[in-house]
Amino acid sequence: MKLRVPLLLKLGALVAATTGFYTYVGQLVPQKEVYPPKETQIKADVTTAEMVTIGKELFEGKGLCTTCHTIGKKEGPFRFPDLEGVDTRAKTREPGLSDIDYFAQTLYEPDAFIVPGFNPGMPTINKPPIGLTDQEILCLIAFLQTQGGTATVTIGTKHKYNGGGTTAVAAAPAAPVEKVPAESAPTPSQAVKP
């Protein structure tokens, strides 16, 4: 005897099976929850070494830098510049600008200079949606300096965009300046948080 399945049941099964299949496909791709970036608290007497650690966290987190930039990617395609050894290039990229000045310019006024071969696209980092504070940007610069150079920036460093002149000036630091080369930059687990 041939079983006669009601049409409504067939249609319901088709709709359920189709949505079920797409739900299943949705479970096959990588699953990741993305949380809002945590606020970084920076002490008044933060050291340069601590700034590098904080800068690294900002680079990977709130600053959203890794959305576009890589560090140490050997082969293209490169949509935006790879930042391995960037401090070496930053020192000579624009005549008259130190590496700190150049980094500050790329973060506060990103379209002022576009690296040859790339399109403009860098957002202004001190404005929303990223909205890093002046102090956070100094920490980010400290981290960038360790990519091919040595971190010299302090929390009191003044540059064109935070009340300084056209050339960055390191103010008397609240804590002694430590030069932090790339290889000795502390890992996030060593971070000193207030």
Report the interface residues with another protein, using CB under 8 A.
7, 10-11, 14-16, 18-20, 22-23, 25-27, 29-36, 64, 67-68, 76-79, 117-119, 121-123, 127-131
In this complex, which beta carbon is closest to another protein, that of residue 18 or of residue 41?
A: 18
CB of 126 to another protein, least distance (A): 10
In this complex, which beta carbon is closest to another protein, that of residue 119 or of residue 187?
A: 119
In this complex, which beta carbon is closest to another protein, that of residue 113 or of residue 118?
A: 118
In which element (H, E) is residue 26 found?
Answer: helix 7-28
In this complex, which beta carbon is closest to another protein, that of residue 74 or of residue 95?
A: 74
CB of 78 to another protein, least distance (A): 7
Residues linked to residue 180 through DSSP beta bridges, in sequence order: 151
CA distances from 129 to 36, 59, 87, 132 (A): 11, 15, 26, 9
CB contact at 8 A, 148 and 86:
yes
CA distances from 157 to 10, 63, 181 (A): 72, 20, 18
